[in-house]
Structure 1
């Protein structure tokens, strides 16, 4: 067992990050003891010690004193160590220096504050700039500005910290993680070609707004074939998704909208989706909740929608993702906690893919206003197809390259490659050139599948 000595300040925050790193990620038992003689952390194991400098909490005087943009670093330095096989590790808090000998290590990298920064998302609480949908953007994050958004640096910290522990206690054993690919599908629509009014609106968008007459003509022909029952609606991809996942021993997770009050909601009545839900459940797929556009900080609306979905689906939903990835820390997490949800998978960026929380492992979340660890777990979203196609406007070749790099980065750490591919972005004219990327992910990027 490890013993961690720390000053008795910010106990809730410290206990949280110790619990995540030691218990949830490393699987190591630990004990905490107050130490009023130092501002830093001392980790004792096998009569050896690791001294870790506190470069964060010691600077805070009030209980929520860290919730200020002034404590976000202006520059991130990097640390390398050939002996521990560490290359250019971003150091959010602390100094890139570690000194080792036989039974003592002095570490000036503040692992605890750096991981706390990434996991809790307090960064987003103190930075006010938002996009048109009131979302915190990747481009405003410390990770993007310092070029490590594509790296799960919390996982990197954990691996390095594990090596430090093994330097002092070679027989120490750790939790084993297994790589898992998790396909998720937000069901924003269940059909593309509905009534004549919606068809006219979609075609006007192609011809007039987007000025893409060839796409418009193809869509007009597809609409005619679908409404004539000659061709299947391109959004009806549930059997295709399910069968492909089953062929590769994966389980797809389908998150259904159920109401809403904005123009971005109510694309279908949940009663219309009941046969689809029954089919998915019969195929042992996961059905979850996709709370509407405005619900991310509206408890009553969130609750009403969830109850309606459960009534129609005939089951208790325990996981899902917010519509449009609208999320506010810790408000949204607090709603999910109150509703007894087990897993959220909202926290990924819409504009750029990568590791918004700095990790590809699921983790228990922290309410930094009420200063407590919640039962809710976050399973971070790593990649969304809309990001590659619509936001970044990448070619299919470049989009595939980015998806492949992220996939194998997650695989390196045996984490969860949780990605979002909408059911409505499979067989449409616009999205078909990117379908091979989805299939490559499901198949694990076979060598002949690029």
Structure 2
């Protein structure tokens, strides 16, 4: 166990030390404010306070972990070897930056509580983030800092053996609509056909009727392909099905359709199933409860994981609503149009409520790229290059890669050409040295 001496054991300090030491490095951590207990400890130990006690492993503390609420924090970014960091310290500190305070700032999403410009869907965008502005969005800096901390501790305690973790993947399949043409009902089918005709989208009109007449496969129905890929992968895919009511933003399949229910159950025989929460349920308790109940009745088990429609988050309300309904894990933390690490980490972490100053039981699993973000790269070669760079960054810290694909990505639409190859590249990445 790593024992940390500090002048005050705060909820923030307890939270971030446990993430870095236990979740990332696999080492238990304890705290003391008593010098005698610190001196008596005969294994890993360090002081995290304002002044060094003697010659012990010491990191000078920044004030953020001992504050409450939000304050106007002055952040200056510095280069640190192969990465960047902030909250620089004096020469006596074993590490030149307070990585714990910097990690807390990123993991708690401190900046998302501060005034910022939202996009048309009311989302916090990558361009508003410190990581994007300062050029470290594409690095899992929290994990990189943790490994630098581990290396510094190892020099001080050479006999201690740190556990090894391994690189993993968790493919996410987002299903806003299981089918493009099937199971849409008479009115929606007629309306869609009329729209195709009025806009002279004759190819779409032709496809619509050949699918409905059973002469052609629905382009969004890629579930057989995905289940076959699951059968050859050691890592479980996680499907998020939208079962909310039809609205301006969500145009999925009616959850009362028996064939749709059968599909969800069939996929659930091979993969994990979560709920894609509809856009309007995001801030509506009644709707959210309704959707949770629906998916639980289909799966005949308690719902564990969720993802928000349009990757929209309203902090802290969105997460508080999930906690109230005892949903254990959320997969919305990421950017739709940018590849990178929204919370600076490729390790799942618990949501810290800055308003209440408390660590919650809700596990946040950030995603690091969505298929749409790769569309800006025109050639398949460029897409592969970007993807390989991301995989390499995560492998460096033995993290978990969470990519988000949609069911329609694996169809035959032109813009998604080559995406099956990219998906396979990710599935094969754990086998490559």
Q: TM-score, normalised by structure 2?
A: 0.87
Residue 10 (structure 2) pairs with residue 3 (structure 1): no
Q: CA offset at residue 411 of structure 1? A: 2.1
User: What CA distance in whole angstroms lies between the structure 2 residues aligned with 1:446 and 1:25?
Assistant: 22
| Contact 1:258-1:306 within 8 A present in 2 as well | no
Aligned partner (choices 180, 185, 188) of residue 168 of structure 2: 180
SS at match of 1:52: strand
Residue 313 (structure 2) pairs with residue 304 (structure 1): no
Question: Equivalent residue for 1:406?
Answer: 390
Residue 115 (structure 2) pairs with residue 161 (structure 1): no
Residue 336 (structure 2) pairs with residue 350 (structure 1): yes
Q: CA offset at residue 444 of structure 1? A: 2.7
Q: CA offset at residue 158 of structure 1? A: 0.5
Residue 78 (structure 2) pairs with residue 51 (structure 1): no
Structure 1: 5+ residue stretches without partners:
81-86, 100-104, 208-215
User: What CA distance in whole angstroms lies between the structure 2 residues aligned with 1:31 and 1:196?
Assistant: 64
Question: Equivalent residue for 1:243?
Answer: 228
Question: Equivalent residue for 1:28?
Answer: 27
User: What CA distance in whole angstroms lies between the structure 2 residues aligned with 1:43 and 1:343?
Assistant: 39
User: What CA distance in whole angstroms lies between the structure 1 residues aligned with 2:107 and 2:138?
Assistant: 15
Question: Equivalent residue for 1:147?
Answer: 135
> How many aligned positions are there?
412
Residue 196 (structure 2) pairs with residue 196 (structure 1): no
CA deviations over 1:12-34 (Å, ceiling 9, x no partner): 11111111112222222322123
SS at match of 1:193: coil
Structure 2: 5+ residue stretches without partners:
36-46, 183-188
User: What CA distance in whole angstroms lies between the structure 2 residues aligned with 1:340 and 1:167?
Assistant: 43
Q: CA offset at residue 366 of structure 1? A: 0.8
Question: Equivalent residue for 2:215?
Answer: 230
Taking a change above 3 Å as real, the CA distance of residues 428 and 201 of structure 1, as seen in their structure-2 partners, is farther
Residue 346 (structure 2) pairs with residue 360 (structure 1): yes
Aligned partner (choices 102, 125, 129) of residue 117 of structure 2: 129
Question: Equivalent residue for 1:92?
Answer: 86
Taking a change above 3 Å as real, the CA distance of residues 412 and 245 of structure 1, as seen in their structure-2 partners, is farther
| Contact 2:4-2:48 within 8 A present in 1 as well | no
User: What CA distance in whole angstroms lies between the structure 2 residues aligned with 1:417 and 1:204?
Assistant: 43
Question: Equivalent residue for 1:83?
Answer: none
Question: Equivalent residue for 1:102?
Answer: none
Question: Equivalent residue for 1:417?
Answer: 401
| Contact 1:360-1:410 within 8 A present in 2 as well | yes
Q: CA offset at residue 386 of structure 1? A: 1.6
Q: CA offset at residue 134 of structure 1? A: 0.5
Of 223-232 and 126-135, more deviation after overlay is shown by 223-232
Residue 233 (structure 2) pairs with residue 254 (structure 1): no
Residue 49 (structure 2) pairs with residue 40 (structure 1): yes
Let me know the Cα RMSD of the aligned residues.
2.6
Taking a change above 3 Å as real, the CA distance of residues 275 and 72 of structure 1, as seen in their structure-2 partners, is farther
Q: CA offset at residue 160 of structure 1? A: 0.3
Question: Equivalent residue for 1:294?
Answer: 280
